[in-house]
Structure 1
């Protein structure tokens, strides 16, 4: 059973996000079975998004799947599956083996290197293109460091530029 959520509507309801998580979990379980990988799934709703986490007793069993590029690709496939079944755009977030925490730490290091360039006299520092979710994390990290940031570009070329406040 799916409900249509038009773009003109407000944010998706918790029930809609839980439905997204359930659909995503079924899809990911199928992928894990195909790959013959043991993993436990946890579903959550946070900040207006469905979150699906894949964990394992033996983290090494998820090593290949937790590569950031692989997580991004599986997340996009999962979002497409959810959208196909619900008729709604999905902003679902997938974490495999702690990959999101690892990526957030990597983004923090990128921001710190950019801030160092500003401290060395640069008027601004550009970061590489990244997903909207990663840009949001960068904006939060930049604000915590006392700087300002803006996103520029279109589509896959959209990137963040950091300046002094």
Structure 2
């Protein structure tokens, strides 16, 4: 976090000096007053005001800039639309080469999401959850996973053996668990360690 300590005859003057040095505006910083200073009498006994001014990180802006730069380096420039709810950052990516950013079974999109989340939370005091989507891919993937869950549940029942799915990120495993949570003939759990953690469907 970029910060600076500045002085002035008043707190406002000290803050203004810091803003000019940081080349930013007051709404982008956090101000801590170290000493309010003292005017003195006829120029005697005066003390300067001292403030510490820190540039506040903007997690949404950080996420957008990170994605735009990575996509540019990949040769697939994108536009980003962002919605923020509490500490959840949902981002929609749009571009002419969006398939390149989705990758096989969403693996590239998942990796980009993971890296974006790391970048956003690297210096943040709060944890932000980042979800990337690209032209409705997540909804299509959810439907695919729900159909897969039902199909593999039937396989587990007919064979009488457990069925292991491919490794998936936690939110995709959750889709499988949710799709089968009310199924009377199978149970599900997750096995293994990330990034190889996967869902196992067993006959109940």
TM-score by length of 2: 0.59
Q: Does 1:72 align with 2:121?
A: no
Whose radius of gyration is greater, 1 or 2? 2
Q: Which structure shows the higher helix fraction?
A: 1
**Correspondence for 1:134:** 172
Distance 2:197 2:172 in 1: 11
For structure 2, which runs of at least 5 residues remain unmatched after alignment?
1-27, 30-57
Distance 1:157 1:20 in 2: 29
**Correspondence for 2:15:** none
TM-score by length of 1: 0.70
**Correspondence for 2:98:** 62
Distance 2:114 2:88 in 1: 14
* Conserved? CA contact 1:71–1:99, under 8 Å: no
Q: How many residues align?
A: 147
Q: Does 1:82 align with 2:124?
A: no
1:104 counterpart (142, 154, 168): 142
**Correspondence for 1:29:** 68
Bigger drift between 98-107 and 144-153 goes to 144-153
Q: Higher relative CO (CA 8 A, sep ≥ 6), structure 1 or 2? A: 1
For structure 1, which runs of at least 5 residues remain unmatched after alignment?
3-18
User: 1:111 offset after TM fit, Å?
Assistant: 0.7
Q: CA RMSD in A?
A: 3.0
